Structures are given as C-alpha cells and as structure tokens.
A and B are shown apart, each in its own frame.
Chain A
Amino acid sequence: MNVAGPSFAETFVGQLVIVTSILMLLLNLVPLLIWLERRLLALWQDRYGPNRVGPFGLLQPIADMIKIFMKEDWIPPFADKVVFVVAPVVVVFTGLMAFAVVPFTPGIVIANLNVGLLFFLAMSSMGVYSVALAGWASNNKYSLLGGLRASAQMLGYEVFMGLSLMGVVMLAGSFNLREIVEAQRGMWFCIPQFPGLIMFLIAGVAETHRVPFDLPEAESELVAGFHAEYSGMKFGMFFLGEYLGITLISAITVTLFFGGWLGPWLPPVVWFALKTGVFVCGFILLRAALPRMRYDQLIGFAWKTMLPLSLLNVLITGAVMLATK
C-alpha cells in the first residue's frame, strides 16, 4: 500500500481498483457471513453446524450458491413483473451504495463526502422501497401485508436512527465519516455517546430485520411476509441485502462509536475489520438468544420509547457541550 501512495488512490485507476476490490470483498463476504452465522448459531446451541463441505464446512455456502442458482427463476403470473424483479435489486444496490462512504482506512474510502453520514442514512432509508415494492409487486395479500408491516417498522426505526447519531455529529462537528473517526483520537464516542450507541444498535438491528426485530420475515409464525412469492436467486438477493446490511451497520457502528480504523500496533485495516467482526458476531448472538417481539410492542417501542429518548439524548448532549464550552 505504501508503494502506491496516496496519490495513486486519488487517480482514476486507483479509484477503480479500490471500488472493484471493495465490491468484490463485500460480495464475497456475504457467503462467508452465512457460513459464520450457521457455525456460530450452532456453537451457541451446543451443535457443530455445517462442517462437512470443505475444511470446517467453509465450502458450504458455495454449495448453497450452486443450489440457489440452479433453482427455477419463477415470477408469479399475477405479479407486476418489472417491479417484482427490481425490488430485490434495490436492497442490494442501496446496501452496496452505502459502503461508498465508509472509511476503511484513512486512505481507502470510495467517496469522501461532506455529508457521508446523511448519505448512509438516505441509502438505508431507500432500502424501505425494496421491501414495500416487493410486497406490492407480488400482488398477493399476504405479501402486501408483510410489506406494509416491514415498511412501518423500518420507517419507525429510521427516524430515531438518524436522531441517535446527531449526538456524534455534534461532538465531531462534521457529517464526514473520516473526520468523525479523526475526532475520536482522544476518546471513542462510545463513552460520551453511550445512549446514542445503544439506540443506534437497536435501530440498526431493526433496520436489517434481524432478531428480535425480524417481524418482516418471521418464518415461524407469519409465513415469510414481503418475500413470500420470491424464490431462487431473487430470494437470494434479499438474503444478500440482509447480510450486507449487517456488515454495513457493524461498519458504521465501528466508524461512529468505536474509532473506526484507530488502534495501536496493528494496521488500520485490521483494526477496522476486527471491530466490525465483533459486531457481526454480536448480531448473530442476538439471533441465537432472543425471541421475536410482538408487533404492537415493536412499533410502540420505536415511537413511544426510543424516539423521545433519542431527542433527549440530543438535548442533553447539546446542553453539556454548551456548558463545557
């Protein structure tokens, strides 16, 4: 990396290399995460998990991928075909786009936007379209209800997700993610912004529809939901989007609250990957341990508890900053 230097990263070819490698990395990370999730869930349930295909079962996701590509590409005759196909693409697209602003190291960031954080929030809001359109285009009442359910949840959690990050923005004085990381040289924001961290994590789990907020999917009692009509690789795209979402939320949490690439001895990329990995494992631990919430509790929790709390967090952060100025 030192050979190329920062000037290389700024050239067109350098950008292209960075973009391509990050894209490849992320897309290949997803099968790895599926394997990791299955192994870790098994670990916490006193089982082994997939350990037959390849060393430690590492080739299992490849076998799964072959299977999912071989499946029939089925579009229901009653569906709105164009939207039906576009919906799963949207979730992957927004997930990948949001990674454009994540600073992996001081040198490696695709788009060093001044409003990086806003861009991330906007992209994760766009994800709602995927769910809503999938439910709508399936032209099936259960899918539509599932889509509505998921959209209401994502909207509710979207609002205080943005607000919970405002404390960080106020402390750093910038929306630029690289500057936010630089502002954490003295102290990671997970300490002064601890309530914000908790709220952001809750919102992040809900945003990626993971347990205990996986009402949009709810395989066991609500018959899937928005993706009831999807199969094969189009269903795989939703899967891909979900795992991209997990990685994204973990990466953003690390960037905003745990000092991003900052850390002693090891190179910045390693620190970033390590911290992100811990949060990904945390997501899986949540799935292993917690039951699903009831829907009215879910919505009530977002609007009646978390939204006022996040406003209060902004208020107190502002007051403390004024007082200590």
Chain B
Amino acid sequence: MLSMLRTLWIVFRHAFRRRVTYQYPEQPVPLPPRWRGRIILTRDPDGGERCVACHLCAVACPVDCIALQATEDEHGRRYPEFFRINFSRCIFCGYCEEACPTYAIQLIPDFEMGEYNRQNLVYEKEHLLIDGPGKYAGYNYYRVAGVSIGGKGKGEAENEAPPVDVRSLQL
C-alpha cells in the first residue's frame, strides 16, 4: 500500500519534468549520421559519376527495388544509362550501400519522402544523382583501381607503379 502511494507521488512529480516529445513538423528530429534513409548516387571529387553500373546493388537488394542499365562512354568508362529505385518497395536495409564497390550508392539521414501518388515514389537517376561526393569526400575509384580508362593509363594512379613487361624479366 505504501509502495503504491510512493508510485503515485513519483508519477505525479513527472508532471514537472522536461517533455521528451519532439514537436516534429516544427521541430526537426535529430538523426544520427549513419541513419539509413533516402538513397542517393554520388559523384567522385572530380565530378564524374561514381557508379560503374556493376549491378551489385541490384543483386544485393532483397526486395528487388533497384533497376539499372549499364552502358559505356567514349573513353570506355561504364555508367548507368538509367538508374531507378522504387522507394515504395525499398526497405532501407542498406545492403546496396554495403555491396557497392565504388561508394556510389549511399543512404543518407532523410526520411521525408511522403507522396500522395505511389508513382512518384519511383526515383529516376536525375532524382538520385547529387553533385557532391557524399560520405567519402576524397575517394575516386578510378584513381585507385588500376584499370586503364580514357585520360589515364595503367600505373598512373595513386600508389601505382607503371606496369612491368614480364618478358623483359626473362634472361
């Protein structure tokens, strides 16, 4: 009985505590930097598209919400002809981000994606692609990958030596 009265008193005192509610639309909700929200496609620091259209994100996606078509530019550089994410299916698991070998696809702290029309939840490349590098500011896949691409031969990238002609090593 006494413990009940004590309970009542403790609960009553909560009337004078600070509220824990965020008054959401007026007051923004603090999201952690690793929050898995809206998906974006990023560019490398030199302004080129990071995505090389390897389809790994589409394969990793458990709900098959990513669709893309690979193509090549005049330098032999692969990029997606179209890149489509159906956010009405997406479960924001982040597997695409983990699968991506070039840090191109990223999930960012934003959840305000409500739409009145379901069709509007299908985002095309123009909606997904941003102008910045996202989370990995200095990273450019082609500067560390070793492949030859238009404007950059083999061995010209960072931490790379020029290729060795193995036959020249023979006696």
Contacts and interface: CB of A to CB of B under 8 A. Distances in A.
B18 A285 contact: no
B4 interface: yes
Contacts of A286: 8
B75 interface: no
Interface stretch (A42-50, A102-110, A151-159, A229-237): A42-50
Contacts of B14: 43-46
A290 interface: yes
| 4 tightest A-B CB contacts, nearest first | A289-B11, A289-B7, A46-B20, A289-B8
Interface residues of B, number: 14
Contacts of B19: 46-48
B23 interface: yes
Contacts of B21: 46-48
State the main secondary structure of chain A at its contact with B.
helix
B15 interface: yes
A288 interface: yes
B12 interface: yes
B26 to A, nearest CB: 11
B34 interface: no
A90 B21 CA distance: 40
Interface in A136-158: none
A226 B162 CA distance: 84
A289 B7 CA distance: 6
A34 B7 CA distance: 23
A44 B21 CA distance: 13
Interface in A275-315: 285-286, 288-290
18 contacts: A43-B14, A43-B15, A44-B11, A44-B14, A45-B14, A46-B18, A46-B19, A46-B21, A47-B20, A47-B21, A48-B19, A48-B23, A285-B12, A286-B8, A288-B11, A289-B7, A289-B8, A290-B7
Given A44-B11, A44-B12, A290 B20 contact: no
A285 B20 contact: no
